[in-house]
Structures are given as structure tokens and as C-alpha cells.
Amino acid sequence: MAVATVAALLAALGGALWLAARRFLGPSVQRLHGSEHSSLMHGKTVLITGANSGLGRATAAELLRLGARVIMGCRDLERAEEAAGQLRRELRQAGGPEPGPSSGGAGELVVKHLDLASLRSVRAFCQEMLQEEPRLDVLINNAGIFQCPYMKTEDGFEMQFGVNHLGHFLLTNLLLGLLKSSAPSRIVVVSSKLYKYGDINFEDLNSEQSYNKSFCYSRSKLANILFTRELARRLEGTNVTVNVLHPGIVRTNLGRHIHIPLLVKPLFNLVSWAFFKTPLEGAQTSIYLASSPEVEGVSGKYFGDCKEEELLPKAMDESVARKLWDISEVMVGILK
């Protein structure tokens, strides 16, 4: 037992040293530099769900740097305002665009309340968006909950399926009109490689017969992909594109519901530092799909590390995608 522990520690330490050397010798994040990119998103309004921490915050920071006007849709307004203040300071220190009457919205950061575990909150948020926002160029469905204990949303849905899929399903549908009137526009959906371990069980979408937190997370991420592909089909000819991505394994607070024994935490922290992506590294594909001219007109695809990747057959099943769409419409109240 002691030998195995020492071996694991040495392996983790070796990995950490390897990563440190890799980062020292060359940056792992390919950011867009130069004046030609500083206004890449100038005049564009971007909505990011869950933008106060982790991937969402990193995505917001980079799109602000590229000149976008960013709306943060967050459940915890206090934490969101704190994050927004930090982002504004970072932008000023980096010499980014200064928001003002002549900036066209560049570098402007707006915080709005959005609780994806409440369909009432989603509807109120979208109503406010439609009343106050003349355009929406990019919607990034980023927020998520990961392997939580069994609990239900305000509307009685299993939490992971309710937040990760249904909340974003309703949000996207209610904002489609604004996205279409702002075309060319983009929708970016954050999924996970863990979709591979999920299945869509139409007999128990609410996990009332059985609940496995890992499986239910994977199912919600598979639902994200099926939703993206079906939405891409429905949006053909509208000049609104939608793509889905996996960010890889990233060091964020998404795993706050995962219990790690106290004695193992130092080893886990070392391994995560060595092998997990930083939020900025993990956000690169979201940023790429939101802003890059290279994916203009591309829709219905699955990306990782800013490259298109293949999907398992179950994530490309058109009949399952259409059935999931139809049932989701009923669950969120779009159809009675």
C-alpha cells in the first residue's frame, strides 16, 4: 500500500514537472494578438450563461478583450457583480477597449439574473432581454451542474437534466427570434466528453426510478449534443449557426459536489495542476466558435481543442434528437 502511494506521488510529481517545463518553454494557449484582432468582436453582443467563474469567466474575459459587449447571465448576482468588477479592472490594466458613448459597446459588461433551475426565471430573463437588447450576436450556453446529489429544480425536474439541458433549451428557444434578427449570429453549446457514458431513457428522463449522478450528468451532456444537431437542422437557411464543444478536463469549481477524502486532496491537487487545463485553456474552443471567421457558416458540428471531432453514433441519432426536442418542448411549456 505504501509502495503504491509513493509510486502514485512520484508519477504525479513527474507529470507536474513535465507540465511546468512545457509551460515554461512555450505557452499552451494560442490567443489572438495584434491590433487586427482587438476589434474582432467590436459591435457584437454576447450572452454567456454561468459567466462569473471557471470557463464562463475566462470566455467573458477573452471576448471582452476582443471588443465584445458581454452579458453575464448568472444565478448569484453578488458573485456575478464581484466577478464583473474584477473583469473590468483586468481589462483596463491590459489596455483593452474603454466602454463609453463612442465605443459601440466594446468592452461593456452587463450583469443580469438568470437561474436555469427555474423556468420562471428563464422566462423573466428572456423577456428582459427582448425588451432591452436590440441585438444578440452570440449565445454561449456555458452554465452547468456536475454530479450533484439527487435534487430537483423549482419545476420538479432532476437538477442536472433540468439545468444543463432543459433550462438552456427554453432559453435558446425564447431568444431565437432575436438571434435571427441579428444574423449572422451564433449559438455555442458547452457539452462534455462524458456524453459517451450517457443514454436518453425516455421512460425515466426525470430519474425517478433510479439515480446515478455520474450517468445523469453524462445524459444531460448527450442531450446537449442532440439538441445542437436538431437545432442546426431547424435553423438551416436562417444564417444562425449552432455548434457544440467539449472543453476537456478543466480545473474549475464544477466538481464542488465531488467528495475527495482529506488525505487524498494534496495528491489530487497536484495531479489536477499537472494534467488539467486552466479555465483559459479550457475556454479556447468556446472563444473560437464564438469569434473565429474560420467557422463562419459552420453548423451542427462537435468541436474539441478548436478542431472538429467525430461523434459516437448515439449522439447522431436523428430520431432520438427529434423525439427529445418534442418532449423537451412539452416539459418546458413551449407546447401544451
Give the residue carrying C-alpha cell 455555442.
Answer: 188
CA triple 219-312-274, angle to 5 deg: 75
Strands (E), 41-153: 45-49, 69-74, 109-113, 138-141
- 112 closest CA partner among 145, 156, 69, 59: 69
How far apart CA 105 and CA 84 sit, in angstroms, is 15
Active-site annotation holds for 217: yes
Beta bridge partners of 240: 185
Give the residue carrying C-alpha cell 449534443.
Answer: 225
How far apart CA 251 and CA 148 sit, in angstroms, is 17
How far apart CA 56 and CA 85 sit, in angstroms, is 15
Burial 112-126 (b: 16+ CB within 10 A, else e): bebbbbbbebbeebb
How far apart CA 253 and CA 107 sit, in angstroms, is 26
Three-state secondary structure string covering 203-251: CCCCCCCCCCHHHHHHHHHHHHHHHHHHHHHHCCCCCEEEEEEECCCEC
Catalytic one of 195, 217, 288, 302: 217
Do 65 and 91 meet the contact criterion of CB atoms below 8 Å apart?
yes
Rounded-to-10 torsion of CA 260, 264, 266, 268:
-60
User: In this structure, what are the phi and psi dihedrals at residue 152, rounded to the nearest 5 degrees?
Assistant: -120, 155
Catalytic residues: 217
